[in-house]
Amino acid sequence: MTDEVPQTALPPVSLPAFSGPLDLLLHLIRVNEVSITDIPIARITEQYTAYLDAMRELDLDVASEYIVMAAELIQIKSRMLLPRPPGVEEADPRADLAQRLLEYQRFKRSAETLHAIDTLRGGLWPRPETEAPRGEGAEETLEVSLFDLIETFRHVTEEYRLAHPPALAIHHLRFSVRDKMQELLDRVEAARTMPLLEFLGQMRYRAEAVTAFLACLELIRLGVIRVFQSHAFAEIHVRRTELPFVSEQIRDNYGD
């Protein structure tokens, strides 16, 4: 049991749940059988930090408050190590911490009392809250707090928001065979020959690629371009034919 920990031993492996750094400190004070008002600060600090290390080793998140307390303990320890000028009465550096521990312990003990009462009273069953049968239109008075009102308002606005979603504008991505014909023509006229897959691969959308492919087929049908490949499954190349063709013809003949 933890109570049998020798004074210099490291803390036991099992870590009870502490509700905070003061709770851990009280635990150490108890197992060391020392007084709150006369804490052997070096020993307690060492054990306290060892606990934090153990918590880290177990991958437990060490809350920042525990680290703040460790810093405070180390500070008190260092203040106690400082030589005091002879004849000068100086306040015990531990006094403030002892005061806080005493106060905290008082509430901790109250909490234990409340826990005991709660456990005992948990076995008493009152009539559950039920609504008395009421006629239509009977208004019930409720006891509500400001926070109930805020919560209700938040709930209502949230309901409203869900029931009335903002108008969602869907930008329809439209590609036209006409545009793609023009694009393909421009590219192929600039480069003389062009790999078809590379051209199609530059399309960002599936629909765009399909449109571009249709544009390619259309230009082939018109005899404006020719496609060829060196052997089966090789890259398909596009080449401009000698057929005279101007962009206006595309614009005039292919609507949206």
Partner 1 sequence: MDHSERSGRARQSERILPALEAVLFSSARPVREKELAELLEADPADLAEALRNLAAGAEAPGRGLRLERVAGGWRLVTRPEFDSLLRKFHDVTERSRLSLAALETLAIVAYRQPITLPEIQEIRSVNSASVLKTLFEKKLITTAGKKPVVGTPFLYRTTQEFLVRFGLNDMTELPKPEDLDADLSATVEAREIAAPTAAPPSIHVDAGAEREPELPEAGE
Task: Write out the residues near partner 1 by the rule CB under 8 A.
Answer: 1-3, 16-23, 27, 29-30, 33-37, 63, 65, 68-69, 100, 102-115, 117-130, 132, 145-147
Q: Are 197 and 236 in contact (CB under 8 A)?
A: yes
Query: In b/e form, how buried is each residue of 17-51, taking b as 16+ CB within 10 angstroms?
Result: ebeebbebbbbbbebbeeebeebebeebbbbbeeb
88 versus 138: smaller Cβ distance to partner 1: 138
27 versus 187: smaller Cβ distance to partner 1: 27
Distance CA 70, CA 21 (A): 9
Minimum distance from residue 46 beta carbon to partner 1 (Å): 19
- Structure tokens, 190: 């600039």
Q: How many C-beta neighbours within 10 Å does residue 224 have?
A: 21
Minimum distance from residue 155 beta carbon to partner 1 (Å): 14
> Rounded to the nearest 10 degrees, how much is the dihedral formed by the CA atoms of 213, 218, 224, 230?
40
Distance CA 64, CA 184 (A): 63
Minimum distance from residue 118 beta carbon to partner 1 (Å): 6
127 versus 206: smaller Cβ distance to partner 1: 127
Minimum distance from residue 40 beta carbon to partner 1 (Å): 13
108 versus 187: smaller Cβ distance to partner 1: 108
83 versus 128: smaller Cβ distance to partner 1: 128
Strand 225-228 and strand 237-240: the pairing is: antiparallel
29 versus 238: smaller Cβ distance to partner 1: 29
Minimum distance from residue 53 beta carbon to partner 1 (Å): 18
107 versus 153: smaller Cβ distance to partner 1: 107
Minimum distance from residue 206 beta carbon to partner 1 (Å): 48
Q: How many C-beta neighbours within 10 Å does residue 76 have?
A: 21
Q: Which of 215, 121, 228, 231 is nearest to 175 (CA)?
A: 215
Stated length of the chain? 256
Minimum distance from residue 59 beta carbon to partner 1 (Å): 20
Helix axis angle for 41-57 and 64-81, nearest 10°, is: 150
